[in-house]
Structure 1
Amino acid sequence: MAPKGRRGPLFEHAFSPQDAVLRDASRRLGRRRFLTVSAAAAALAFGAGAPARGASAARERPAARITDNPFTLGVASGDPLPDSVVLWTRLAPQPFEPDGGLGQERVAVSWEVALDEFFLFTAQRGVAQAHPEYGHSVHVDVQGLDPGTEYHYRFRVGTWFSPAGRTRTAPAAGTAPKGLRLAAVSCQAYHDGYFTAHRHLAEDDVDVVVHVGDYLYEYAVDPAGGARGYTDVELPDVFNRETETLADYRLRYALYKADPDLQAVHAAHPFVLTWDDHETENNYAGAADEKGGPAEAFLIRRAAAYRAYWENQPLREAQRPDGPDARLYRRLHWGTLAQLDVLDTRQYRSDQAYGGGPHAPGPESDDAARTITGVAQERWLADGWKASTAVWNVMPQQVCFSQRRFGTAADANVSMDAWDGYRASRKRVTAAATAAGVENWLVLTGDVHVGYAFDIKENFDDPASRTVGTEITTTSVTSGRDGTERPSDWATYMAANPHLKWYDGRRGYVRVELGAKEARADFKVVPAVTKPGASITTAASFVTEAGAPGLNPA
């Protein structure tokens, strides 16, 4: 935990006046949630002094005064629409300094979108402001693009050019594209190894990358970089503590974003992202932290984590946090072929039952009032399915949706942190999919650091019950360090869960190709992540036919 004494100067330096901040934060949080929030903490977490839609009191730094490369954290794009895509970068000539080396001055950043990699045929260009209040991040929602088109983009500050990125727009609404190639990734603990899977994914031919959570980890990273074991470079001590403040989270994103493999995959493909727990704190649930501390104090931390997440990802203004709240769940389309309903199962969930550890289902976990999505998001999901005309309804989300029993006994434990701990929620969502006539339901999951392929059953306790969808769980990029093909519990899990069709413990990602007649999932794995440069192979492939839910070996 961070020393308490370090917080005061950071807050006082950044924001004032405190009384106005308190009133604003109280209005946003509500009186009961805000009673114990200090003025200093509120000032940082709730963004006093943040620019209002482009306006900033910060003076502008002339480009000539930026003498070091400001694009050390790379570029990214995300959330492609038929006529728009979000472009991102963050200026940090000194990425491991709290202010990135730019102090409290704003910087004008030129951006350019072209039809070719040489930037001879410009499609759009403009100027954006990198505000110190947002960590000198830049989010450009480029409008007026052509649907179904590949574009190249870059940024410029003075004489400095960013690396060039490649992105694409979604097909036009109402059109029927032949296919959608996506990759699902999750769980990339920097201290557990190299992002080798991302390097391979950067070279893969996919349309979009879906990141389903644990983009970073809040845990301390020692000077050696954990399992990376640097011999010639030591990381600064600022990383050797758990993230708690806005400055901590910003620095941790800088550490991750400085990785060349992560930069490569962002530059190669547009991303669609959602968070899980480690972007904030392990196993948090709504306003409840892992250790059962005061909700008011945790919401301060959550506000800092959410703000840093938005600052460091290619997300639109609609996803920008308002204090400790952010509307991350959203819907994207790929013509009439696919509808992507991106969920947030952390921010609105009830606290985990039975203390949050593995436990057999019981009255506490099965309480019908418990929810993993919150009422509003659950209704939004059901309404979206009712209106869907897509061939495939894809649900990117965080934790295992399908039942996952840890033993063969009738009262075997399950995870209280996954949908097994929220069975009433799962039952309602499954019923909503059925009621909406969703035939081709594909759930994309992360979290567990292994690869799974599940048939989603109408009744998981009856193997003969109807299969209503497919769940593909991607393994981690690094989390858990070097994996193994068959973990020690492999035989038990396969016997205890007849709907589990495949289980592998190696690192990598999942490549999914959707077509009009079938979906194919290829599990890509690397043998090791504690040493760089590992090769990649396809460990298994499955198909599910449109109109006939259920996985079959390819």
Structure 2
Amino acid sequence: MAPTGRHRALAEHAFSPHDAVLGAAGRHLRRRRFLTVTAAAAALAFTTNLPARGAAAARELGGARISSDPFTLGVASGDPLPDSVVLWTRLAPEPFAVDGGLAQERVSVQWEVALDEYFAVVVQRGTALAHPEYAHSVHVDVRGLAPGTVYYYRFRTGSWFSPRGRTRTAPAAGADASSLKLAAVACQAYQDGYYTVHRHLAEDDVDVVFHLGDYLYEYAVNAAGGERRYTGITLPDVFNRETMTLADYRMRYALYKSDEDLRAAHAAHPFVVTWDDHETENNYAAGIPENDVPPEEFLVRRAAAYRAYWENQPLRAAQLPQGPDAQLYRRLHWGTLAQFDILDTRQYRSDQAYDDRPHAPGPESEDPARTLTGAAQEEWLIDGWQSSTALWNVMPQQVCFSRRRFDLTAEAAVSMDAWDGYPASRDRIVAGAKAAGVDNWLVLTGDVHVGYAFDIKDDFDDPQSATLGTEITCSSVASGRDGQEKPANWDTYMRANPHMKFYNGKRGYVRVELGRQAARFDFRTVSAVTTPGAPVTTAASFVTEAGAPGLKPA
């Protein structure tokens, strides 16, 4: 949760007294202009501290000279298209060293894609350079693949081979795919527990994984690794501080990707990723930091965090940040079965209302100028629905979309960090979905460390109003430690929110199967993450029929 005081102090720093005359919309616009200026300053400060782009100054290190395994952080693939998928790795023979053990030298890396796990039928191969400017990460956008096909891939440098990865392409555009199995995960604080959820996910039969944010946390990790103390591993002091610099964020990704279960999940399935707040800083809003630091200083930090995120994820060049800015929202398709509109609800949002504390809806949160997506992303989303020919329109994003009242009073508090704190923004999205005739609308959500299933209502104040779609919130991979099947507020939440059909506080993931007739949702949970090896069970299953929104027990 954000501390008090940071929003008001920043407002005093950013705005002139003339804002009082402009009103809410004027304050919103003035803030955007202010942040544009500071973003440009941050971009200049960030890029001028980097070596020359393209690594022209870096000498090349032959793979034969690398004396220990450089593929310690594993492999990954992502963003499958009908003819393409992104392959990723990052070289780090010394993963907990600032330079990964490769100093400022670039390294030639070979890659190959095959139809079989033994690489007897290789369909494509090539060479890429791992540049020190990008933390020796490699992003290969392999084109010319066959649609709807499973592939295997690997990397090599010198005598070292990476682990084998398995990926797949999407069906051809316009293909009437009959089904899609996906998983949704989020929130994996390393210090809160083991990645048992990822181990089970690696073994599950899904086509693609959506990671909905909080891939890492900026908080300090002590020498024992927090709840991972049972491993007996002693971590270096470099992790026992909050991430602030580019080196800090790169090192933190190395720590997270040192986990064998996370590496296994990436190697088993293509991922589609989007960020929330902790990849940068808790509960930041656009260019507004959690604490009372100058916005231009925070944007330098955001630039570092965004760059490290891209370096460590299977993302295309289109998502490469420019200073503190990156376009992470994007659209993918699975034939005519599903359209995926992946949102970014952090980078463009208005400041949280009421000091980011739970609060009843009021004039500050209900200001019609407030936005969670920003105007450009909102327009892009609604335009995409207007042109969609998909049976299911899926919106993977970060924070709870549906109304979530915290108590039973008439003026119940709601979250100011979720869509409840931006009701006008939510109303515009709902109106856009209705105008576009989106019949089978599915929202996938992370952030809250619990599993929820919601009916999205036309009017959340009227339980009898039309159901417009379904929201499924996955629990966390580890954040919040073990959790409880029925949290202490379970009865209150279920009574206060009649559109909430399920609530479970254990760690886990959601498996979704989309079909032509219906969608099925399985909440997969583990009994514990503070000790390794817990089994996975299905806590509950629901279905919603195509053309007849509304959750029913499976």
Match of 2:498 in 1: 498
1:45 & 1:537 partners in 2: Cα distance?
A: 48
Deviation at 1:46, TM superposition (A): 6.1
Match of 1:268 in 2: 268
Q: SS in structure 2 opposite 1:81?
A: coil
Q: TM-score, normalized by length of structure 1?
A: 0.93
Deviation at 1:291, TM superposition (A): 1.4
Counterparts in 2 of 1:263 and 1:50: CA distance versus 1, 3 Å: farther
The list of structure 1 runs, each at least 4 consecutive aligned residues, that deviate by more than 3 angstroms after superposition, is 28-35, 41-48
Is structure 2 residue 409 aligned with structure 1 residue 438? no
Match of 1:100 in 2: 100
Q: SS in structure 1 opposite 2:328?
A: coil
8 Å contact from structure 2 (residues 224, 232) kept in 1: no
Deviations 1:371-412 (A, max 9, x none): 000000000000000000000000000000000000011101
Q: SS in structure 2 opposite 1:514?
A: strand
Give 2:356's aligned amino acid.
Answer: G
2:53 pairs with one of 51, 57, 60 = 51
Give 2:50's aligned amino acid.
Answer: A
- Residues matched between the structures, number: 521
Q: How does 1:332-343 map to 2 (within 5 A)?
A: 332-343=332-343
Is structure 2 residue 414 aligned with structure 1 residue 414? yes
Deviations 1:19-69 (A, max 9, x none): xxxxxxxxx98545566x6xxx955466633534xx632110111210010
Give 1:434's aligned amino acid.
Answer: K
Match of 1:288 in 2: 288
1:212 & 1:46 partners in 2: Cα distance?
A: 32
1:517 & 1:525 partners in 2: Cα distance?
A: 26
Deviation at 1:233, TM superposition (A): 1.7
Deviation at 1:464, TM superposition (A): 0.7
1:454 & 1:239 partners in 2: Cα distance?
A: 38
Match of 2:139 in 1: 139
Q: SS in structure 1 opposite 2:422?
A: helix
1:315 & 1:31 partners in 2: Cα distance?
A: 27
Q: How does 1:385-464 map to 2 (within 5 A)?
A: 385-464=385-464
Counterparts in 2 of 1:333 and 1:298: CA distance versus 1, 3 Å: same
2:223 & 2:467 partners in 1: Cα distance?
A: 49
Q: How does 1:146-545 map to 2 (within 5 A)?
A: 146-230=146-230, 232-545=232-545
Is structure 2 residue 64 aligned with structure 1 residue 64? yes
Match of 1:6 in 2: none
1:383 & 1:366 partners in 2: Cα distance?
A: 24
Match of 2:117 in 1: 117
1:58 & 1:481 partners in 2: Cα distance?
A: 43
Match of 1:10 in 2: none
8 Å contact from structure 2 (residues 38, 295) kept in 1: no
2:258 & 2:325 partners in 1: Cα distance?
A: 27
Q: SS in structure 1 opposite 2:146?
A: coil
Match of 2:546 in 1: 546
Give 1:362's aligned amino acid.
Answer: G
Counterparts in 2 of 1:128 and 1:405: CA distance versus 1, 3 Å: same
Counterparts in 2 of 1:455 and 1:237: CA distance versus 1, 3 Å: same
Unaligned runs of 5+ in 1: 1-27
Counterparts in 2 of 1:231 and 1:506: CA distance versus 1, 3 Å: closer
Identity rate, percent: 73
Match of 2:8 in 1: none
8 Å contact from structure 1 (residues 42, 300) kept in 2: no
Give 2:517's aligned amino acid.
Answer: K
Q: SS in structure 2 opposite 1:116?
A: coil
Deviations 1:293-338 (A, max 9, x none): 2110110000000000000000000000000000000000000000
8 Å contact from structure 1 (residues 45, 303) kept in 2: no
8 Å contact from structure 2 (residues 332, 341) kept in 1: yes
1:45 & 1:125 partners in 2: Cα distance?
A: 32
2:316 & 2:474 partners in 1: Cα distance?
A: 26
1:45 & 1:241 partners in 2: Cα distance?
A: 24
Match of 1:21 in 2: none
Deviation at 1:178, TM superposition (A): 1.0
1:46 & 1:77 partners in 2: Cα distance?
A: 31
Deviations 1:404-454 (A, max 9, x none): 000011101000000000000000000000000000000000000000000
8 Å contact from structure 1 (residues 45, 246) kept in 2: no
1:32 & 1:480 partners in 2: Cα distance?
A: 35
